[in-house]
Amino acid sequence: MWYYRGLTLVVLVGGEKGGTGKSTIATNLAAELALAGPNCTGVVPYRCSTVLVWYYRGLTLVVLVGGEKGGTGKSTIATNLAAYLACRDIDVVLLDADSQATAARWVERRNSFSPGLPRVHCVQKTGDIFETIRDLSGRYQQVVVDAGGRDSEELRSAMVAADRLYIPLKASQPDLETVINVSRLVKTACGLNPVLRACAVVSMASTHPAVTETHEARELLAELPEIGLSQAVIGERKIFRDAIVEGRGVIECKNSKAKAEIGLLAEEIYGG
């Protein structure tokens, strides 16, 4: 995957002659990288005076799942993205910034009922979470934030630190209307954080083939240039409710349709 292997640069400073300044060059290189960002891991003595320096490029993506409407599937999507990444050996942290602690309890259940599953780390923090996100993005390969369902300090501070905002919503008028205010928040946040990209994702969509729920959403979102619409649509499926109770992602369950839906969303965010 593009955001993990292959982009770490290992720099070996070596040679057969002593006293030529290898350690000096390596330590200075490391100091330069440390100034450049939090993703440099360090300097390790190796054999005689050869020193390895490695640098983790800043490719961590901070994905914020939030919005202004309750019960739209935010925690479900955040936990499923975290499980999807963990299943791909990605060192992922789920930041639960909602005092309801749905995501944190999901991690607790995951650890106690299914300790063999790939690990998802969890941090809980409310209030201003800007610094926490910055810190976590230097420590983990991927960060997923569950920011809850209202216009809050958590949501606003996270928008300034995040790379992507995903706003799950049911494709119904009351849900869609809440995106109008979120688009104002996005506009303000982009002034401070120009990398932020916001995208609505239709969640809990009818699985009945005759119902095309995305049509209304597409029409309304066309008027909001700050918010895109995900190609992925998450269906209303019992497996999503069962998985959250078991501390699993649907990727770790047997329902191939739910797996495909989360897979499509994850590929859109993280690449194939």
Ligand X SMILES: Nc1ncnc2c1ncn2[C@@H]1O[C@H](COP(=O)(O)OP(=O)(O)OP(=O)(O)O)[C@@H](O)[C@H]1O
Residue 66 touching ligand X (CB under 6 A):
no
Residue 204 touching ligand X (CB under 6 A):
yes
Q: How far is the CB of 162 from Mg ion (least distance, A)?
A: 17
Residue 250 touching ligand X (CB under 6 A):
no
Site string for ligand X, 114-143 (x = CB under 6 A): ------------------------------
- Spatial contact of 234 and 207, defined as CB atoms under 8 Å apart: no
Of residues 102, 111, 126, 193, which one binds ligand X by CB under 6 A? 102
- CB nearer to Mg ion: pick between 41 and 102: 102
Residues in the interface with ligand X (CB under 6 A) total: 20
Nearby residues of 71 by Cβ (< 8 Å), 6 or more positions away: 149
Residue 241 touching ligand X (CB under 6 A):
yes
Of residues 234, 262, 265, 266, which one binds ligand X by CB under 6 A? 234
Strand, coil or helix: 244: helix
Nearby residues of 43 by Cβ (< 8 Å), 6 or more positions away: 26, 27, 30, 51, 52, 53
Handedness of CA 70, 125, 77, 161 (dihedral sign): positive
Residues that bind Mg ion (CB under 5 A): 74-75, 102
Q: For residue 55, which amino acid is it?
A: Y
Of residues 42, 70, 225, 271, which one binds ligand X by CB under 6 A? 70
- CB nearer to Mg ion: pick between 26 and 179: 179
Q: What are the respective helix, strand and coil percentages of the chain, to the nearest 5?
A: 40, 20, 35
Q: Kindly list the residues in this chain that would bind ligand X in the complex (CB under 6 A).
A: 70-76, 98, 100, 102, 148-149, 203-204, 234, 236-237, 240-241, 244
